[in-house]
């Protein structure tokens, strides 16, 4: 029974980490689209390159944080949460 409980904890953590990393796909697509459009704007108005690059950089940084949140959560779920949860389980069972 204990093995089953630990298995469920580990499986849940791994599934959660996988689900969290789905959020890593969006920023890649979004950043690409934003940069492509910004490049078109630079092509139309080359004199605005500096300000467009600055805005593009800020936009990419903000978009990327979503992916980084997902990454941090996934890493914590894989490496930190199982140990913690198994410890809590053992404590609850008095083992």
Partner 1 sequence: MKIEPAVKKETGIIACGVTVMSAVMVGIFAIAGHFDMTVLWGAVLGTALAIGNFFLMGLGVQAAADKMNGVQMPPLDEEDQEEVARQEEEATMFFQGKSAVPTSPEAQSAKRLVQLSYHGRMLLCILVLVLALVIPVFNIMTAAIPLLFPRLIIMGQGVVQKVKEGK
Query: Nearer to partner 1 by C-beta: 5 or 39?
Result: 39
Interface with partner 1 in residues 31-50 (CB under 8 A): 31-33, 35-40, 42-44, 46, 49-50
List, as own/partner pairs, every contact residues 60-65 make where C-beta atoms lie below 8 angstroms and the sequence separation is at least 24, other chains included: 60/31, 60/34, 60/35, 63/27, 63/30, 63/31, 63/34, 64/27, 64/31
Binding site for partner 1 (CB under 8 A): 24, 27-29, 31-33, 35-40, 42-44, 46, 49-54, 56-58, 60-62, 64-65, 67-69, 71-72, 75-76, 79-80
């Amino acid at each position: 029974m204990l093995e089953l409980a630990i298995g469920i904890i580990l499986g849940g953590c791994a599934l959660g980490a996988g689900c969290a990393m789905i959020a890593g796909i969006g920023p890649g697509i979004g950043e690409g689209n934003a940069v492509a459009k910004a490049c078109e704007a630079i092509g139309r108005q080359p004199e605005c390159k500096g300000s467009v690059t600055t805005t593009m950089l800020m936009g990419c940084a903000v978009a990327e944080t979503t992916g980084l949140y997902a990454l941090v959560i996934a890493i914590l779920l894989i490496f930190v949460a199982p140990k913690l949860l198994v410890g809590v389980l053992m404590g609850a069972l008095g083992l």
